[in-house]
Amino acid sequence: MTELEIDRLGHRGDGVATLDGRSVFVPYTLPGERVRATFAGDRADSVEILTPSPDRADPPCPHFGVCGGCLLQHLSADLYAEFKRTLVVDALADRGLSPPVSGTITVPPNARRRATFAGIMAGKRPVVGFHQRGSHAVVDIGVCFVVTPRLLEAKPALEAITTLVQPRKDALDLTVTDSTAGLDVAVGRLPAKEVERLRLKLIDLASRFDLARLAVGGEVIVERRPPVVRIDGIPVVPPPGGFLQASAEAEEAMARIVMETTAGAKRVADLYAGVGTFALRLARHATVYAAEGDAGAVAALDRAARTMTGRGRITAERRDLGRRPLVEKELEPFDAVVFDPPRTGAPEQSTWLAKSKVKTVAAVSCNPATLARDLRTLVDGGFRIESVTPINQFRWASHVEVVAVLRR
Q: Within this chain, do residues 331 and 394 fall inside the same structural domain, yes or no?
A: yes
Domain for residue 66, yes or no? no
Q: Within this chain, do residues 358 and 372 fall inside the same structural domain, yes or no?
A: yes
Given a contact cutoff of 8 angstroms between Cβ atoms, the answer to whether 128 and 153 are in contact is no
Q: Within this chain, do residues 221 and 310 fall inside the same structural domain, yes or no?
A: no
Query: Looking at 67, 70, 144, 366, which residue is catalytic?
Result: 366
- pLDDT classification of 1: cutoffs 50, 70, 90: confident
Given a contact cutoff of 8 angstroms between Cβ atoms, the answer to whether 119 and 167 are in contact is yes
Is the CA virtual torsion 332, 338, 341, 345 positive or negative? positive
Write out pLDDT tens, residues 51-78: 999 999 999 999 999 999 999 999 999 9
End-to-end Cα separation, the chain, in angstroms: 56
CATH value at residue 135: 2.40.50.1070
**Alpha carbon distance 86, 104 (integer Å):** 10
**Alpha carbon distance 273, 292 (integer Å):** 5
**pLDDT confidence of residue 262:** 98
What phi and psi, each to the nearest 5 degrees, are found at residue 392?
A: -90, 80
Per-chain mean pLDDT for the chain: 96
Q: Within this chain, do residues 280 and 386 fall inside the same structural domain, yes or no?
A: yes
Domain for residue 125, yes or no? yes
**pLDDT confidence of residue 268:** 98
Question: How many domains is the chain partitioned into structurally?
Answer: 3
User: Alpha carbon of 278 to those of 60, 269, 355: distances in Å?
Assistant: 34, 10, 24
Domain for residue 127, yes or no? yes
Q: Within this chain, do residues 254 and 273 fall inside the same structural domain, yes or no?
A: yes
Taking 90 as the threshold, does the pLDDT of residue 134 lie above it?
A: no
Write out pLDDT tens, residues 337-379: 999 999 999 999 999 999 999 999 999 999 999 999 999 999 9
- pLDDT classification of 399: cutoffs 50, 70, 90: very high
Q: Within this chain, do residues 218 and 252 fall inside the same structural domain, yes or no?
A: no
Q: Within this chain, do residues 49 and 153 fall inside the same structural domain, yes or no?
A: no
Taking 90 as the threshold, does the pLDDT of residue 45 lie above it?
A: no
Write out pLDDT tens, residues 187-238: 998 999 999 999 999 999 999 999 999 999 999 999 999 999 999 999 999 9
Q: Within this chain, do residues 198 and 255 fall inside the same structural domain, yes or no?
A: no
CATH value at residue 3: 2.40.50.140
Given a contact cutoff of 8 angstroms between Cβ atoms, the answer to whether 274 and 292 are in contact is yes
- Quote the domain boundaries for residue 251: 82-108+244-407
**Residue 366 among the catalytic residues:** yes
Verdict on whether the full-model pTM lies above 0.85: yes
Taking 90 as the threshold, does the pLDDT of residue 168 lie above it?
A: no
Q: Within this chain, do residues 164 and 255 fall inside the same structural domain, yes or no?
A: no
- pLDDT classification of 167: cutoffs 50, 70, 90: confident
**pLDDT confidence of residue 155:** 97
Domain for residue 65, yes or no? no
Taking 90 as the threshold, does the pLDDT of residue 41 lie above it?
A: no
Residue 329: other Cβ atoms inside 10 A: 9
Q: Within this chain, do residues 97 and 118 fall inside the same structural domain, yes or no?
A: no
Identify the DSSP state of 299: H
**pLDDT confidence of residue 149:** 96
